[in-house]
Amino acid sequence: MAIRTSRSDYRRAIVSYQPPSVPQKPTAAFVGASWVALGLGIASFAVGLWNSHMTKSEVGFYAATLLLGLFGALSLQKSVRDRAEGVPVTNLYLGVAGIIVGLSIVMMTIGLWNSGLALSERGFYGLAFAMSLFAVVAVQKNVRDSAPPAATRPAVVSPYPDGR
């Protein structure tokens, strides 16, 4: 004899699911792969710039754009995660972090589009840039997930007597 269930039973089961409140620690393989991807992305981008025949100003532009993108992606991921965990994050900071990530992607795209590089070199720099942005987000997530729970972290005490 088969047990009949209605669609509403499935909906209730889906709606009633509560994800674990404490994030699971990432596996060592994922942590290692994230760090390797970040190192490989940054190193390949840097070696490509070092071996290129671009002017110093072009090399500086691409290096600064990579660093801007890495910082922006890291900051945006941390802000989104803080907000999801109930840590106060201002809309201004979250917006600026998002704009910085978008701006770095636009700057890299326009810079590569207007460069005199071969199509294969443009693709190389674009992929190394994208891989580095993805990897820095994964590394930051792993660091955050591996940190002790908030209850065991040392409290931040204000140096000011009024607690500002």
For residue range 106-164, list pLDDT tens digits in order. 999 999 999 988 999 999 999 999 999 999 999 999 998 888 776 555 566 667 776 66
66 φ/ψ angles, rounded to the nearest 5 degrees = -60, -45
CA distance 138 to 21: 20
7 has a pLDDT exceeding 70: no
pLDDT for the residue numbered 150: 62
Tokens of 90: 């201002």
Enclosing domain of residue 37: 27-146
**Where does the pLDDT of residue 26 fall: very low under 50, low under 70, confident under 90, or very high at 90 and above?**
confident
Between helix 56-84 and helix 91-114 the angle, nearest 10°, is 150
Is there a domain that residue 8 lies in? no
Q: What is the pTM of this model?
A: 0.75
The total number of structural domains that make up the chain: 1
Is there a domain that residue 161 lies in? no
**Predicted confidence (pLDDT) per residue in 33-64, tens digit:** 999 999 999 999 999 999 988 999 999 999 99
Is there a domain that residue 157 lies in? no
Tokens of 70: 């890495």
Q: Which residues of 132-161 are buried (b: 16+ CB within 10 A; e: fewer)?
A: bbebbbbbbbbeeeeeeeeeeeeeeeeeee
Is there a domain that residue 104 lies in? yes
pLDDT for the residue numbered 12: 58
19 has a pLDDT exceeding 60: no
Is there a domain that residue 119 lies in? yes
